[in-house]
Every structure is written in structure tokens, then in C-alpha cells.
Amino acid sequence: MHPTACHSYHNTFIIIDTKHITVNDIFLFIPNLIGYLRIVTAVLSFISMRSHPIFTLVFYGISGFLDAFDGYAARKFNQGTRFGAVLDMVTDRCATSSLIVYLGTIYPNYTFFWQMLVSLDLASHYMHMYAMLSLGSASHKNVDSKQSKILSLYYNNRSVLFFVCLANELFYVAIYLHYYNFFWLGTILAWLSAPVWFFKQFANVVQLKNASMILARMDAEDKSK
């Protein structure tokens, strides 16, 4: 990388010196700071989850809502990093898995269902990221339509990505609120978000299959040599 980078904002050219970026600078990039705040609010939602559904709704909602801003900040301030990308995905997966784990405690009759959902979510995203990195992609979101039209639409269209992720989280939150008889809000939100939640699970299956095919194809090519 050249020691300086030129960026244009509203026809004003600014020269940014990138030669002296340190590890500590990366940790303090704006999108990463947003990521840390997401972690804090998510943990606060875990603490309040058993006894304070209103606090849980607020904290978990803030954590999910901030997910829309770390990527925006990364693009706006040219602060996209590998660390930030992984931090974002790990926070998403941990928050969702932790909420599902709690659903398993209040709906024990559906424990197997919750276990399968966590397993599918973690397995599909881990294998997808590993497969994309193995292909030399700079981001797990750089999915070509030739690989999968569904995944390409999901990852490359920010509106679709935001809406699907929002509805997916809303479904789990709704199931949580339903248990606490939250003024029928949980029941209504669960029915409204269920179709998009189902699409997200289908996308996870497609993602798992697609990643498996990529890795197996690379293995076959290596063994053939």
C-alpha cells in the first residue's frame, strides 16, 4: 500500500497518511468502537434476560440496531478492517446464540429445535467465512451470483441484508416476549417475522452447502495435482 491515500469528500481532496497506522489505531477505529458498544449492550441484555424483559428488549435492540452503523462507519471513514469484519460476525453469532440458549431454558420442550438452530447458524457462517477466505476473497460478503443467487442477493444488497437480519432477530425476541405475555406484542411480532426467519434458515442451509462444495472442490483440485 502506498504510504499516502487520497480521498475526495464534496470536491475537497484530503491526503491521509497511512504509514504510521498501529495495532492500537486499528482497535480504536470508529466501526470497531461501535462493535465494542454492541458487545456491552448485548451482555447487559443477557444479564437482564431472566427478570427484566423491558431492559432486555432495549439493550438487545440497541446492540442489533448498531449493527447497521458499523459497516456504514467503515465505508464513510475508510476504516474497514479484517478485525472489524470478524468482530461484527462473531458479535452477531454470539448474541443470537445466547438468546436462543435462553429460549431453551424457558421452552425446554423444544430443546432439540433450539440446538439445531444454533448449530446451523454457527456451522453455516463459519464454513462460509473459511471457504471465502480460502478463495482469496477480502470479505465473506463478496459472493458472486454464479456461486449462489440467493447468497449474492442476501450479502450484496444491503437493504435485503439489513431487513432479513432484523426480522430474524425480531422473531427470536418475539418468542422471548411471548413467554412473558408482553401485551400480545410477542405473538404478533412472531407471526409477522416468521416468513423472513424461515428464509434466513433456508439461506443458512444454502450457505452451508455452498461452502462445503467450494472447500470440497478445492480439495479435489489439490489432490488431483
Tell me the one-letter amino acid at 174. A
Query: Closest Cα to residue 170, out of 202, 203, 192, 201?
Result: 192
30-48 and 53-76 helices, crossing angle to 10°: 170
Q: Are 103 and 60 in contact (CB under 8 A)?
A: no
Query: Annotated catalytic residue: which of 70, 92, 144, 222?
Result: 92
Pairwise CA distance, residues 86 & 74, whole Å: 13
Query: Closest Cα to residue 215, out of 121, 122, 127?
Result: 127
Tell me the one-letter amino acid at 162. F
Q: Are 31 and 74 in contact (CB under 8 A)?
A: yes
Q: Are 124 and 207 in contact (CB under 8 A)?
A: yes
Q: Is 92 one of the annotated active-site residues of the chain?
A: yes
Cell digits for 223? 489432490
Tell me the one-letter amino acid at 20. H
Pairwise CA distance, residues 174 & 192, whole Å: 10
Q: Are 176 and 95 in contact (CB under 8 A)?
A: no
Residues marked active site are found at 92
